[in-house]
Amino acid sequence: MHFIALQGTYSSLELGLFKDQAVVAVEYYDELRASSNLVPFLEEFLKKNNVALEALSFIAVDKGPGAFTSLRATIASINGIAFARQITLVGVNSLEALQVQACDANIAKQVRYVVALLNAYNSDAYFRIFDQQLNILVDESCQKIDEVVARLAALKASVLCVGNGAVLYKQELLTVLGDALHFLTPNPAVPAVTAIGRIALKAWPQLQNQEALYSIEPYYLKTQLFAIKR
């Protein structure tokens, strides 16, 4: 069984090809408007690995939360491909994928809690707090970074922080948490397709017994406000 996992929630795009549980190939595109170029990148990637689109059992997609424009472009493109070729999509939560990825690291076993932290812009952050056993302490939410830091400080325990929010808000985190704060080296800015693929593969057996899903909705988490000037 072959399937593709993709991540395009911010400015970069990553594609991963799997055969059952094994990773066959991974390609990373770090360029402006990478998510809007998904279709040609995917065609090139499959051709390079001698796998036809019709041969895919499903496509795993990081559905967010993430940057509004990139997330929308990625999911609109993959929805079009899936509907046209009747390929099932499996949506994966960005914060859950970061959670799985972080807990694979040795340092995660040395701290009390792990927080997946992603940039939500305008001093906001998407986050999720959990322990070493992947038990969720605080489910995903979007709050001002000061409120997130206050929540972490209230834990009074060591914390591992992962995601692009860990870099963006590093100073705010260090000021309050000090030596209790830990980072991965290198820090994963967004979930890797390997983590996205693992989660999707685990969910796949249940989805096989349901009606095929050829489109997914972006998981924005943050309410988008549009102002109209009069």
Per-residue pLDDT reduced to its tens digit, 126-160: 999 998 788 899 999 999 999 999 999 999 999 99
User: What is the model's pTM?
Assistant: 0.92
Between 230 and 89, where is the model more confident?
Answer: 89
Could you give the percent of the chain with pLDDT greater than 70? Answer: 92
What pLDDT was estimated at residue 134? 80
What pLDDT was estimated at residue 206? 83
Same CATH topology for 2-93+191-207 and 95-183: the answer is yes
The answer, yes or no, to whether residue 63 has pLDDT greater than 90, is yes
What are the tokens at 80?
């079009």
Task: For residues 52-60, give the mean pLDDT.
Answer: 96
Residue 118, class by beta-carbon neighbours within 10 Å (0-12 exposed, 13-18 middle, 19+ buried)? buried
SS (H, E, C) the chain: CEEEEEECCCCEEEEEEEECCEEEEEEEEECCCCHHHHHHHHHHHHHHCCCCHHHEEEEEEEEECCCHHHHHHHHHHHHHHHHHHCCEEEEEEHHHHHHHHHHCCHHHHHCCEEEEEEEEECCEEEEEEEECCCCEEEEEEEEEHHHHHHHHHHHCCCEEEECHHHHHCHHHHHHHHHHHEEECCCCCCCCCHHHHHHHHHHHHHHHCCCCCCCCCCCCCCCCCCCCCCC
Could you give the percent of the chain with pLDDT greater than 90? Answer: 77
Alpha-carbon span 77 to 69, nearest angstrom? 12
What are the tokens at 222?
């943050």
Instruction: Give the residue among 134, 131, 125 at the shortest CA–CA distance from 195.
Output: 134
Alpha-carbon span 14 to 27, nearest angstrom? 6
What pLDDT was estimated at residue 209? 63
Alpha-carbon span 108 to 142, nearest angstrom? 23
Sign of CA dihedral 43, 45, 46, 49: positive
CATH number attached to the domain at 2-93+191-207: 3.30.420.40
**Would you kindly state where each structural domain of the chain is located, as residue ranges?**
2-93+191-207, 95-183
Per-residue pLDDT reduced to its tens digit, 18-42: 999 999 999 998 875 666 789 999 9
What are the tokens at 102?
């972080």
Task: For residues 77-91, give the mean pLDDT.
Answer: 94
Alpha-carbon span 230 to 224, nearest angstrom? 19
Fold classified for 95-183: Nucleotidyltransferase; domain 5 (3.30.420)
Task: For residues 160-184, give the mean pLDDT.
Answer: 97
Task: For residues 90-116, give the mean pLDDT.
Answer: 94
One-letter amino acid at 82 equals A
| Mean pLDDT of all residues belonging to the chain | 91
Task: For residues 175-197, give the mean pLDDT.
Answer: 96
The answer, yes or no, to whether residue 224 has pLDDT greater than 70, is no
Sign of CA dihedral 171, 7, 44, 83: negative
One-letter amino acid at 207 equals L
Q: State the helix-helix crossing angle for 94-103 and 193-207, rounded to 10 degrees.
A: 110
